Amino acid sequence: MTGKIAVTLATLESHNHIIGDIERGVKIFERGGVEFLEHEPGEYVGHVPHKRGESKTASVKFSRDGRDIEYNFCHCTWRLENSPVCRHVVALVLAIQGGIVNTELTLGKSASAVTKVTEHNTAHAVGSGSTHVFATPMMIALMESAARKCLAGCLSEGQTSVGTQISVEHTAASPLGAEVTATATVERVFGSRIEFIVTALDGSGEIGKGRHTRAIVDAARFMTKASERR
């Protein structure tokens, strides 16, 4: 493990989980009584209160940076596929890390970015085509800008977010003078990896849609690694 364990509720919700068990797990944790031990670095086994004085045995393995879970198991779900996160796993994770991580990053959080189509951001101007309509690369950049804005209030000092993947359709052309709005909505959170649904609209309706992934990184370390590629 290279960092402290800090798994957010949004990350737990993003994993395959039993509906309603995130909230139930929080309540179990708050009542106390969860016992655990570290079996291997980053791997924990615990006994979580159940009902009528009984307990369930659960285990969890954290990612190297401590921001996500790589594996989880509980006796109450061992017959189910894909090891869903249950209430006992949630309570165990919260007990191990000492509580709920305070963050503004939640599923469904969204932000938008707006621009106007001018001669400077057309397909002809940026070299992606010959027409004087909003360029696909500029639509993608606007979507990334919206996603970056969505994460702005969720970063610690010294952190930034970088785009790692995007897959979009450009479905309609926007002429000169049109106002384009891109919106990014958090769909899933896996530690420092954030997945968004992105859309773009002009005054006549939708012009693009897709998915985008960003990673939260240490800005100085990121730039150092980038410089080493010279």
Rounded Cα–Cα distance for residues 211 and 220 (Å): 27
| Residue among 4, 9, 2, 215 nearest 102 (CA) | 9
Nearest alpha-carbon partner for 188 in 8, 7, 11, 6: 11
β-sheet bridge partners, residue 133: 175
Residue among 76, 105, 89, 68 at smallest CA distance from 22: 89
Distance of alpha carbon 192 from alpha carbon 159, whole angstroms: 11
- CA-to-CA distance for 96 and 88, rounded, in angstroms? 12
Catalytic machinery residues = 136, 144, 170
Are 119 and 182 a contacting pair, CB within 8 Å?
Answer: no
Q: Which residue is associated with the tokens 């930034």?
A: 160
Q: Is residue 79 helix, strand or coil?
A: coil
